Structure 1
Amino acid sequence: MIDIIQQLHFLRPEFFWLLPIALGAFISLHLLRSKSSQWYDVVDPLLIEHLLDNPANNQASRRTNIPLIAAALACCIAVIAVAGPSWERLPNVTEQKTDAMIIITDLTLSMHATDVKPSRLIRTRYKLLELLKQRKAGQTALIAYSGDAHVVSPLTDDASTIAALIPSLSPDIMPSIGSNAVAALNSATQLLKNSGISRAKIVWFTDEALPSDIKAIDNILNSKKNSSTIKGN
């Protein structure tokens, strides 16, 4: 029971400002009705009929406030419903920005090699799809590189959109030949800058990490305070 209460949150809490307005209106109405009923305490019942415009209605309001209370409760319930109670917390914008991930994948010609079955390229596709499947929150981007780097998908919170592009990844679609991982890292940092995100996790898929590339990438990551993970075939 305690866990259920702790998980409860509201998707639109800004609507709770309607509660004091609604309650204030009902309290004012109640006070107005009470003022007319106070005459019954000081005036003889035989004379009250001649002094009040509608004694029958005033007498009824004095006997019960059930309709007024019921209306107040209904308004409170309506406001709570509009506020959107939920037990499944959705990531807010801050959480998405602090959980950003940029995936960099190697699409050099060596990815066609079949020394691992069925091939380095297909194995990488499987790993990319598995990683995207695990992404439940946060923004994700995909960059592919060979002789140059190209943004396949900018930062998005829809990982399924990126997953749909994975089967088409191949060295054959790249316009230049080579292996320029540093260009991919520079593209990643530019993506973060354009999106207003200061930090992100960078996941690099490659079949060969050259010492010169690793050193250059470390320098870029250290200057930008990002974290990295290198995955091979």
Structure 2
Amino acid sequence: MFRFGEPIYLYLLIILPFLIAFYLYSNYKRRKKIRRYGDPELLAQLMPDVSKYRPDVKFWLVFAALTMVIFMLARPQFGSKMETVKRQGVETVVALDISNSMLAQDVTPSRLDKSKKLISRLVETFNNDKVALIVFAGEAFTQLPITSDYVSAKMFLETISPSLISTQGTDIRGAIDLAMKSFTPNEGVGRAIVLITDGENHEGGAVEAAKEAASKGVRVFVLGVGSPDGAPIPTEGQNEFRRDKDGNVIVTRLNEQMCQEIAQAGNGMYVRVDNTNRAERALNAEINKLAKADVETQVFTEFDEQFQVLAWLALLLLAAEIMILDRKNPLFKNVRLFKRD
């Protein structure tokens, strides 16, 4: 496995395009000044020791050396040993409703975007825990199998949209059943299902599924997103709202009663998600109460530093730059590495 020990230094790469632009601009200004004195070809004949190409070669050598130094500062490393380690943690499966009603904007910026931000912040609080991500609408499927790779969890989270599932609806039972299959077989681990939905148009069986999960020691937490007053559903890519077959604007409302029933059956907690972080704080507090047990995880435990290779390359490039003179060396006048056109 490859990684950078100090990735913050990679931000220094931003200066490289500006160095190139500055050098090209300086060359342009220099050529412009030369033209003021006379014909460039005639001036070149009057100054036979001046090389046309050597300054460019010297610049690119220094540029390459600087690039090597930046990567060297970031400390490139390769993992050399994989071990199975035991850590204290819990297992959480997040089931996210991505039906079209989640595009409603009665919470800012929308129900779906608010939910994704909440999940992202939840993942940031995990330490030695495992998380899985399920998305559902009229059917449910696993977006990310259970893992302790929080970077991947956030990456997969960014790609979620209602277009992932063509079958509309809110199959909460299917999401809970799939979540139960996502946990590892480890015993004694605290397990939770975090169900994030507006609860509209659910297809039945959700309460029974939550009861079954609770009977197996899995708590079901429900986060209701939206408002009971409801809001219209925007049409993606268009500046209008979805309408029914009669042409009326569709208004989607949070079904709090159904959400509360599922949470109660699942021995969990219901929290309504609004424009504050109240739901996030309440959920974190409940998950932290879960029993933590030894969770086996495969990780790289030894990383070898690789900066030495980059350091030697930088030194060689700088040495080559020093050895190349701006003017032609009279000792090597018959050696033409940089021929004129």
Structure 2 length normalisation: TM-score? 0.38
Aligned in 2, Cα 1:211/1:169: closer, same or farther, shift over 3 Å? closer
SS in 2 for 1:125: helix
**Equivalent residues of 2:93, 2:133 under 8 A apart:** yes
Deviations 1:139-175 (A, max 9, x none): 1101110011110011111112111111211111113
Between 1:145-154 and 1:160-169, the stretch displaced more is: 160-169
**Partner of residue 105, structure 1:** 96
Q: By how many angstroms is 1:214 displaced?
A: 4.7
**Equivalent residues of 2:94, 2:194 under 8 A apart:** yes
**Equivalent residues of 1:108, 1:171 under 8 A apart:** yes
**Partner of residue 213, structure 2:** 221
Q: Structure 1 or 2: larger strand share?
A: 2
Deviations 1:202-232 (A, max 9, x none): 1111122769555223322223211121112
Deviations 1:158-198 (A, max 9, x none): 11211111121111111321110111111111122xx3135
Q: Which has the higher contact order (CA 8 A, sep 6+)?
A: 2
Give distance in 1, aligned partners of 2:124 and 2:94. Answer: 13
SS in 2 for 1:110: helix
Deviations 1:59-95 (A, max 9, x none): xxxxxxxxxxxxxxxxxxxxxxxxxxxxxxxx95363
Q: Please, which of 71, 77, 88 is the counterpart of residue 95 of structure 1?
A: 88
**Partner of residue 4, structure 2:** none
Q: Please, which of 109, 118, 132 is the counterpart of residue 141 of structure 1?
A: 132
Question: Could you tell me the percent identity over the aligned residues?
Answer: 22
**Equivalent residues of 2:92, 2:130 under 8 A apart:** yes
Q: Structure 1 or 2: larger helix share?
A: 1
Q: How does 1:14-33 map to 2 (within 5 A)?
A: none
- Unaligned runs of 5+ residues in structure 2 are 1-83, 226-341
Return the letter of the residue paired with 1:196.
Answer: P
Q: Please, which of 186, 196, 202 is the counterpart of residue 197 of structure 1?
A: 186
Return the letter of the residue paired with 2:95.
Answer: I
Q: What do you get for the CA RMSD once the two structures are aligned?
A: 2.2
Give distance in 1, aligned partners of 2:176 and 2:186. Answer: 15
- Unaligned runs of 5+ residues in structure 1 are 1-90
Structure index of larger Rg? 1
**Partner of residue 271, structure 2:** none
**Equivalent residues of 1:132, 1:160 under 8 A apart:** no
2:152 counterpart of 1:161: yes
